Chains A and B, each alone.
Chain A
Amino acid sequence: MKKQLYVLVALLVAATMILTSCGAPKPAATAAPVATAAPAATGPVLIRWSIGIGTGADPAQVTIENEVAADFNKSQDKIHLIIEVIPNASARDTISTEIAAGAGPDIVGPVGWVGSNAFAGQWLDIAPYLAATKYDTTKFEAALVKSYQTEAGTVGLPFAVYPSAIYYNTGLFTEAGLEPLPAKYGDQYKMPDGTMVDWNWDNLTKVAKLLTIDSAGKHSGEAGFDATKVVQYGFSFQWEGHAEYWGAFMSNGGQFLVPGGSKGSYAAKAPANWVKAWQWVYDGMWGAEPYIPTGAVEGGADFDSGNSFASGKIGMADMPSWYLCCVGDLTKAGGKFDFGAMPISLDGKVAGRTDADTFRIWKGSKHPAEAFTVLAYLIDTGIIKLVVGSPERAPAYGAVPSQSALRGPWLASQKANFPFVKNWDVLVAGLNYGDVPSAEAFQPNMNESWARTGTFTTLLQNTKGLDLAAEVATLESDLTTIYNK
């Protein structure tokens, strides 16, 4: 009986091993960019474009994306492009499952660095296709092209970029008797007492406190100010509510991953300026003289359930250009805003932060050449409806086009939508001040690493009296564990 049991267990284990070794087919080699011949009987090659891991799943955006797919299908007859829209919250799970089943989408995007890095190693090196089609990359800034050249090859082309700036509520500034923010990087700021000061985080804090008002009309730091009855705050990172963004915004980029490791020896270490940035944010939320709303306050109805700048009760918000999508509540209520330069970072240099979205081709695509044809179409032609837009019709994504030649029409479109904004130049100038390394730079086991820092973020946003140094040490330890899992 024992012998039979051993045989049974051995058979089951063998079956298990066979099952685990089966699965998706090996990815297509990227060396030979030969178009897949579509069998005449089956018609054009089907290319699946997966949308949702980044922006793009909003119904208004889907309408435009459908138009772009239809335009592409009309433009030729060898490839049929279909879009697959997945809600953002479930996009990673869905794509993981599809890839695991060997049925990943041919093209994914628009997707930023975090979303892409969650699937590190899964993206096709398009360099052979660029060479084979003699694709002209000189239309992009060299730095943007370079940003997509990784250890895995060229994994994308510049498409949409999102420079950051300080969005400030001009009405609240006027009410508080404050001067407009610097409209050029490196310019000084005129404080209420007339002194000219460097536009850095210390001075931003002073301005933010003047804009933080309690129900009796007193500002943060003023005698008699009641920190429990704040009705208006001076500053928020709002939807850039992630500790890695906070660190990058305030200290010119940075990363947790200590360079030079490999699996088993990876290590995480928070840059010193990131820790200072987190302390600044934490003091802003929980200190005696606050200037940033806590997580619970910002999520409340008074602050537009998280879209706090649009509530009209936030003086300044540090956000990328994609936030133009969502300031409607502010402008509908008669509010106005403008852009100011990002403050000088904690390391003393003029700094900014730039997000970037593009399209990726899955390494396992059975039709990589056709997928590249679609990708090139989206980058060169689809971009008009997706990013540039027109004065009559806003684009799908609130981004700045990566091709400088398209920025004129893009600007015309934006000016038509927001005629009161004066400082568009400072927003575009933000492209010169990207965070290096990006806040969204690769980390091993990216999904879990990013989620762990997200937990740290919400802990800071929702817990008074934290021992921040101990929490940072725990975070570093956890990230080190996660990197080596």
Chain B
Amino acid sequence: MENLTHLPKLPSFGSIKKMTPIARREYRNGMIFLLPWFIGFLGFVLLPMLATLFFTFIDLKITTGMLTTPKWVGLANYVTLFKDNQVWNARPNSSPGALWITFRFGIIALPVGIFLPLGIALLMNSKWLKGNNFFRSAFYMPYIIPFVASIFLWGGMLNPASGWINKALEGMGVPHNSLPQWANDINWIYPTYVIMGIWGIGNAMLTMLAGIQGVPTDLYDASKVDGAGNWGTFWNVTFPMISPVIFYNLILSVVGLFQYFLVPLVLNQGTGAPGGASMFYNLYLYKTFFVYQNMSYGSTLAWALFIVILITTVILFSTSRFWVYYASENP
């Protein structure tokens, strides 16, 4: 925090009175320019946040709540949350809890979402690759397609009955009864989501490529002089130098993981099918708010999510000093 001491401070009311007329006018104009942001922040961020915090202590239903006065229930919603099997259940071979689903999916999705773009970025940076620009565009292009449209596209391709992927598999000799049911199958659903997610790695690939290209070439020359091979060069030079970019993508991926929502909503109609396997935490939260009409419990879930993301992010930041290399901090 001591790094922030150099930032300018807001003047106190007393010091405003002591300002020269020009300084006071500048201060006033500055405040007028800032006012729209303040109003937006208060109206659309802080007030709704405080409102949802207040909702967690009352019994508010989206419909009945408007016809009756909500009751003060204290911490009852938090007690329900801690007992809610639909959030916590981790028993194998049963309907998994929403938080457990999110973690389980993350175990597959996060490594793929980090290391695949890194691998592709390394390939894109290879001097042996011809047509770099074409491949860069090709990998990035799916990222610019609207997300919902891409889910529908994938839904069509992976349709167990009519999708061309299963037709191709059958053409290659996979027995009809053994064809994957993709998002309809409890064993295939997470790999299916991960496969779909690969389509959107263009942005991460591009930031990693930029990081790789920003590594000073003299470091590579020095490693060659020291006799390092390809792996040694990557591990001792490239990886540390791009570790801030990897860390940035990791943070975004973790936050994105906890907010995973659209794919199960569109592809599995938000029902949690098959067997509750697609009831991700954020989807459960949304359904609690707007389908189950329980604003209070939905708000409790939202605050719990906020706290979980906050704690996870803090933990990741605290580990960063062990593996993320900031050149500016290491003269």
The answer to whether A122 and B288 touch across the interface, beta carbons within 8 angstroms, is: no
Given contacts A459-B275, A462-B186, contact A121 B64 (CB under 8 A): yes
Whole-angstrom distance between the Cβ of A23 and the nearest chain B Cβ: 4
B54 adjacent to A13 (CB under 8 Å):
yes
Known contacts: A17-B54, A97-B290. The answer to whether A459 contacts B181 by CB under 8 A is no
User: Which residues does chain B contribute within 8 Å of A147, judged by CB atoms?
Assistant: none
Q: Which of A229, A299, A458, A477 has the most CB of B within 10 A?
A: A458
Shortest B217–chain A CB gap in Å is: 52
Interface check B129, CB cutoff 8 A: no
Interface-side segment among B84-92, B119-127, B134-142: B84-92
Whether B294 contacts A448 by the Cβ 8 Å rule is yes
Which residues from A are CB-within-8-Å of B177? Answer: 228-229
A57 vs chain B, min Cβ distance (A): 15
Say yes or no: A92 contacts B291, CB within 8 Å.
Answer: yes
Q: Mark A439-469, 1 if CB is under 8 A from B, else 0.
A: 0000001011001101110111111011100
Let me know if A300 is at the binding interface, CB within 8 A: yes
Give the contacting residue for A24; candidates B66, B85, B275; CB below 8 A.
B66
Q: Are A296 and B185 in contact, with the CB atoms below 8 A?
A: yes
Question: Do A463 and B93 touch across chains, with their CB atoms under 8 A apart?
Answer: yes
Query: B259: shortest Cβ distance to chain A, in Å?
Result: 20
Determine if A122 and B276 form an interchain contact, defined as CB atoms under 8 angstroms apart: no
Per DSSP, chain A at the interface is helix
What number of A residues sit within 8 Å (CB to CB) of B?
Answer: 60
- A13 touching B50 by the CB < 8 A rule? yes
Please provide the chain A residues from 337 to 354 with a CB less than 8 Å away from any CB of chain B in the complex: none
- Beta-carbon contacts under 8 Å, B114-167 to A: 160-162
CA distance A229 to B178 in the complex (A): 10
B43 CB, nearest partner CB in chain A, Å: 10
Q: Which residues of chain B are near A452, meaning CB under 8 Å?
A: 86
Q: What's the minimum C-beta distance from B214 to chain A, rounded to whole angstroms?
A: 43
Give Cα A46–Cα B91 distance, bound, in whole angstroms.
54
Indicate if the CB atoms of A459 and B66 lie closer than 8 Å. Answer: no
Q: Which residues of A sit under 8 angstroms from B314, Cβ to Cβ?
A: none
Contact B290 A455 (CB under 8 A): no
Chain A nearest CB: distance from B220 CB in Å?
52
Q: Does A32 contact B (CB under 8 A)?
A: no
Q: Least Cβ distance of A263 to chain B in Å?
A: 9
Q: How far is the CA of A73 from the CA of B101 in the complex (A)?
A: 52
Tell me, in angstroms, the Cα distance from A99 to B46 when the chains sit together.
26
* Residues of chain B within 8 A of A451, CB atoms compared: 271-272, 287, 291-292
**Chain B hits for A228, CB < 8 A:** 177
Q: Which residues of A contact B95 (CB under 8 A)?
A: 455-456, 459, 471, 474
- Does A192 touch B at the CB level, under 8 Å? no
Q: Which chain B residues border A299 with CB–CB below 8 Å?
A: 160-161, 181, 184
Bound CA span A458–B294, Å: 24
The answer to whether A447 and B85 have CB atoms under 8 Å apart is no
Instruction: Chain A residues near B84: list those with CB within 8 A.
Output: 481
| Shortest Cβ distance from A98 into B: residue | B63
Contact partner of A296 (CB less than 8 A), chosen from B160, B269, B272, B287, is B160
Contact A459 B54 (CB under 8 A): no
Interface string of A104-122 (1 = CB under 8 A from B): 0000000000000001011
Cβ-closest chain A residue relative to B272: A455
Instruction: State which of B67, B94, B273, B279 has its C-beta within 8 Å of the C-beta of A27.
Output: B67
Q: Does B240 contact A (CB under 8 A)?
A: no
> Does B292 lie within 8 Å of A448, measured CB to CB?
yes
A89: interface (CB < 8 Å) = yes
B residues within 8 A CB of A455? 95, 271-273, 275-276, 279
Chain A contacts with B in 79-103, Cβ cutoff 8 A: 89, 92-93, 96-97, 99-100, 102
B62 at the interface (CB under 8 A from A): yes
- A residues neighboring B (CB under 8 Å): 9, 12-13, 15-17, 19-21, 23-24, 26-27, 89, 92-93, 96-97, 99-100, 102, 119, 121-122, 228-229, 295-296, 299-302, 305, 363-364, 445, 447-448, 451-452, 454-456, 458-463, 465-467, 470-471, 474, 477-478, 481, 484-485
Closest 6 CB pairs of A and B: A301-B161, A459-B275, A462-B274, A23-B66, A448-B292, A455-B276
**Sample of 9 further A-B pairs with CB below 8 A, known A16-B54, A96-B291:** A448-B292, A451-B271, A455-B273, A459-B186, A459-B276, A460-B275, A462-B275, A463-B186, A474-B85
20 A-B residue pairings within 8 Å (CB atoms): A12-B42, A17-B54, A20-B58, A121-B64, A228-B177, A296-B181, A299-B160, A299-B181, A447-B292, A454-B271, A455-B271, A455-B276, A458-B273, A458-B274, A459-B95, A462-B185, A462-B186, A463-B275, A478-B86, A481-B84
